[in-house]
Amino acid sequence: MVKVKKILRIVSCVLSLMLVYAYLCFVFIPKDVSDWGGDKYYHAKGFIGEPDDSLDIIMFGHSGVYSGFSPVTLYKEYGYTSYASSTASQPIKKINDLLEKAVKRQKLKVVFLDVDCLYVRFPLIRYYDSLFAPFVFHARWKNLKPRDFYLAPGVRTQDVTKGYKFSAEISGYQPGEYMGKADAKPAAPKKVHLSGLNRFVKICRKNDIQIVFSEFANATSWSYARHNFIQQYADAHGIDFLDMNIPNDRYQADFARDFQDKANHYNVYGAEKATRYLGRYLTEKFGDKLTDRRTDEKYSYWKEAISDFDKKLEGAGVAGRA
Mean pLDDT of the chain: 86
Domain-embedded: residue 264: yes
Higher pLDDT, 131 or 284: 284
- 62-76 average pLDDT score: 96
The least confident of 68-77, 155-164, 255-264 is 155-164
The highest-confidence range among 89-93, 126-130, 133-137, 251-255, by mean pLDDT, is 251-255
Bridge partners, residue 306, by sequence: none
Confidence band for 139, pLDDT divided at 50, 70 and 90? very low
Let me know: does 106 contact 55? Beta carbons within 8 Å: yes
Q: Is residue 35 over pLDDT 50?
A: yes
Is the predicted pLDDT of residue 36 greater than 50, yes or no? no
DSSP character at residue 266: B
Is 138 a member of any domain? no
pLDDT for position 322: 47
Tell me the β-bridge partners of 240.
Answer: 212
pTM: 0.84
The per-residue pLDDT for 98 is: 95
Question: Domain total for the chain?
Answer: 1
Q: What is the pLDDT of residue 25?
A: 58
How far apart CA 322 and CA 318 sit, in angstroms, is 6
User: Which of helix, strand or coil describes residue 231?
Assistant: helix
pLDDT top residue among 152 and 197: 197
pLDDT at 143: 60
Within a domain: 115: yes
The pLDDT tens digits of the residues spanning 171-227 come to 988 898 999 999 999 999 999 999 999 999 999 999 999 999 999 999 999 999 999
Edge-to-edge strand ranges of the sheet holding 57-61: 82-86, 57-61, 110-114, 210-215, 240-243
Q: What is the mean pLDDT of residues 117-144?
A: 60
- Decide if pLDDT at 168 tops 80: yes
Q: Decide: residue 44, CB within 10 A, 0-12 exposed, 13-18 middle, 19+ buried.
A: buried
2-6, 64-68, 130-134, 157-161: least confident range? 130-134
* Terminal CA-CA length for the chain: 78
Q: Which of 244, 200, 216, 243 is nearest to 62 (CA)?
A: 216
DSSP 8-state class, residue 101: H
Tell me: pLDDT of 132 over 70. Answer: no
**Residues, the chain:** 322
**Which band of pLDDT confidence, cut at 50, 70 and 90, is reported for residue 38?**
low
Q: Per the domain annotation, does 134 fall within a domain?
A: no
Given a cut of 70, whether residue 95 has pLDDT beyond it is yes
User: How far is residue 239 CA from its own chain's centroid?
Assistant: 20
Mean per-residue pLDDT, 11-25 = 71
Closest by CA to 308, choosing from 163, 160, 166, 167, is 160
* Spatial contact of 57 and 82, defined as CB atoms under 8 Å apart: yes
Residue 233 has pLDDT above 80, yes or no: yes
Predicted confidence (pLDDT) at residue 104 exceeds the cutoff of 70: yes
pLDDT at res. 32: 57
Closest CA relative to residue 294, chosen from 106, 110, 56: 56
| 260 belongs to a structural domain | yes
What pLDDT shows up at residue 8?
Answer: 72
Domain assignment present for 282: yes
Q: How many beta carbons lie within 10 A of that of residue 170, not counting itself?
A: 15
Give the confidence band of 138 by pLDDT, cuts at 50, 70, 90: very low
Mean pLDDT throughout 40-68? 88
DSSP 84: E
Q: What Cα–Cα distance (Å) separates residue 293 from each residue in 81, 271, 298, 308?
A: 7, 21, 8, 19
What is the CATH classification number for the domain harbouring 199? 3.40.50.1110
Range of the domain at 262: 33-119+154-315
Q: Give residue 106's Cα distance to chain centre.
A: 16
Of 5-14, 49-58, 108-117, 247-256, minimum mean pLDDT range: 5-14
CB atoms within 10 A of CB 233: 21
Residues of the chain with pLDDT > 70, as a percent, come to 79
User: Helices marked H in 29-91 — which ranges?
Assistant: 38-42, 63-68, 71-78
